[in-house]
A and B are shown apart, each in its own frame.
Chain A
């Protein structure tokens, strides 16, 4: 059940929320007291009203896992001076027998001169003592007053490099931001959560005692990304996964870092004296979702090459996991592997509020790989 009202001024929001809660109580009837559940403040910035509606819907779909006060912001700089469009809603659902669980949403559109007031208004609506997640998909205008003021009050900045007009540029900006510690908040990226099943399955190969020694013997990683012909190749997932492997396993960039051969870009890293080559390939696929499609690792096992392959088949939403050890039967396993939808990504991102050092290390190296590729291959 959802109740929604429109108000004209920000100062009417709290009164509207109170009335909505009372309406929910009356509608629930006796024996079904509404419970207000909030574990965080979700401050979402939308580029336009359509995106605002989508983001509000995604947050609403998460009510059972991450009930929050959601404040969706968007601006219309050319609108009427000092004018606001504000809708306030209470979403209630019978999550457990005998209880109606409610959480709250506010959508704020600032027109014209009201844009300048938007950060102050948004921050005044936050629930006290609960963490604030600033969710900003698309291009993030670092340095703008709006972005800077909201970031200053956020505990976490959540972006999606894949939805930016320049994903690799945003990746580098995030790395800069993280290194400079200019933002008190921690940084997270949907691209990292899209990699979660890849990281888990890759790690799982090496939980097996007979495969664990191969971690020290890896000499090649081949990362294929789907490249729909209608858009430029997005390498950010591949860079992040490669950087994750490298930072976890102690691989450091060699010189030169990048070479190009037979249409594939290769990055050269080193673990002590041993060279590790990363092959990045874009595979044209009409209609495919951009992102990783396979990861293959090769280790120089003393008895012959050992291969570990994860291959996602997008149509069947599953992955084949193949372990090939020298002199042993091939091990094949098939597991579900549906691409995470927007709601699942948001849920994963909101699950853990702590700083993710593994991500930050991978982010720094991924940004370095990207920057050096631009410098070395362009030259």
Chain B
């Protein structure tokens, strides 16, 4: 039996329940509360958590934005958003109970007086709803607003909570290059300690991404072959069929390398290649991820053409319908040189992965949406079976992130018959066929931020290490003549030059 006197550090009633703990009551301040992220993701995720009985009593969310709304208008807007985007049904009394915790502060982000009104509201919530001084400040704004808001949170003293905890959640982009990332990190750390800064990468909230660690370190059979001795190469793909989706202005300043590689793909790479952490705690996992990123071989500018290919889509067809080229998208300069496609060959120079190439590719308006990590193993040393002219098919282990989340292993079998014919087959595990609804990425990440679990958030040194590599590529591109864009048609698998990146090594991209 559990002795309560000794167990008050943890809640003894939590033993054996589906979540080890629920968060303490807190107030979440959403800067940019009238924007798309709040409407489509944040508040629907909060409602799902409430309806799943995972939010604590007294939890409150304050929308902070410029539009002339009041509490009632904010609640009404968020109700409509939840009816449209929440995974769980919105019912009258459950909604009312949730909505009682929604408030709105109308203010310009640079208006100090607005922050003072927010302070008054937070104090009232501490007293009346028991939020106990716990605050989560969520930056759902344009990236250029973040430094000013964080500065004012520091200047007004709101960043420090006397009673409870105070945390900051920041959305990507975490800077524009290594210099700006360092400057942003420095600015954030002047106001919030590093362990209170949660850099959100929604990819890490996906169940299948979290499963990479479980797959690798909860199974004994894969780890012994997860190294340069058995692995020929690794391919990581994040292909999108969509275009810039109304984000043309933002995207044209960003491009695929910054928008996808620096964060999502580097996270996938580090989870795939990292050493086993000592414990599953946040810093233990992140320490190992940082080691991978720090081991990335930095290309010299002259090497960039052999290691990085960029592309931009022109008009084409997707799903049988014509789609415009990138330069015809709203908000995009008609002579834009921003890349919408990147293919990279990189190396992790450590004991485990030395000389094993990692091929990464990502792009917009590709043939279909696919995200996966594929580990291709070395071929058998001798070809004993089948036609002698054909090389033996290598084994491939693919971790599919979307769609058809799951894992497949390709191996060779004998075809039935009198002859000894060999054919590769695929053994599939499909997540969607085996386990039911999984929580949305934002549900998991918001809950973790409230709980103070930073495992699935990026640390400043991770961000900077990823930028260090990406900035080298950017420098190389700056030294090259301007690219001849567009160089691939929408609805295809990217520019022809990307083929050369891998076929030159006697390998080929996986077919999706």
Contact = CB atoms under 8 A, between A and B. Distances in A.
Contact of B50 (A197, A216, A250, A335): A335
A18 interface: no
A318 B430 contact: no
A15 interface: no
Given A200-B18, A204-B53, A216 B23 contact: no
Given A201-B53, A318-B93, A328-B130, A65 B435 contact: yes
Contacts of A252: 1
Given A95-B432, A216-B5, A334-B94, A248 B57 contact: no
Contacts of A197: 53
B4 A250 contact: yes
A207 B16 contact: no
Nearest to B58: A331
Contacts of A323: 57, 130
Interface residues of B, number: 45
Interface of B: 1-5, 8, 11-18, 21-25, 50-51, 53, 56-58, 88, 91, 93-94, 96-97, 127-130, 132, 403-404, 428, 430, 432-436
Q: With a 10 A CB-CB cut-off, give which of B8, B16, B96 has the most chain A CB atoms.
A: B16
A206 B457 CA distance: 27
A98 B408 CA distance: 15
A248 B13 contact: yes
B405 to A, nearest CB: 8
A95 B4 contact: no
B13 A203 contact: yes
Contact of B13 (A35, A206, A271): A206
A316 B11 contact: no
A184 to B, nearest CB: 21
Interface in A93-123: 95-99, 101
Contact of A250 (B2, B24, B433): B2
A148 to B, nearest CB: 29
A336 B51 contact: yes
Given A97-B403, A329-B128, A208 B430 contact: no
8 contacts: A99-B430, A196-B17, A200-B17, A208-B58, A247-B2, A318-B91, A334-B93, A335-B97
Given A208-B25, A247-B1, A318-B91, 4 more contacts: A64-B433, A95-B430, A95-B433, A250-B4
A347 B57 contact: no
Interface string A320-360: 01010000110111111000000000010000000011110
B130 A96 contact: no
Contacts of A379: none
Contacts of A95: 430, 432-433
B98 to A, nearest CB: 9
Interface in A230-263: 245-250, 252
B94 A335 contact: yes
Contacts of A205: 57
Nearest to B11: A206
A284 interface: no
Q: Name the prevailing secondary structure of the B interface residues.
A: loop
A11 B182 CA distance: 70
B60 to A, nearest CB: 11
Contact of B4 (A65, A99, A271, A359): A271
A215 interface: yes
Contacts of B15: 248, 358
B404 A96 contact: yes
A249 B434 contact: no
B57 A250 contact: no
Nearest to A337: B53
Nearest to A365: B1
A113 B335 CA distance: 85
Contacts of A183: none
B99 to A, nearest CB: 11
A28 to B, nearest CB: 14
A101 B91 CA distance: 33
B14 A213 contact: no
A99 B404 contact: yes
Q: With a 10 A CB-CB cut-off, give which of A201, A203, A204 has the most chain B CB atoms.
A: A204
A331 B13 contact: no
Contact of A96 (B1, B96, B403): B403
Contacts of A357: 16
A67 interface: yes
Interface string A76-108: 000000000000000000011111010000000
A6 interface: no
Contacts of B96: 334
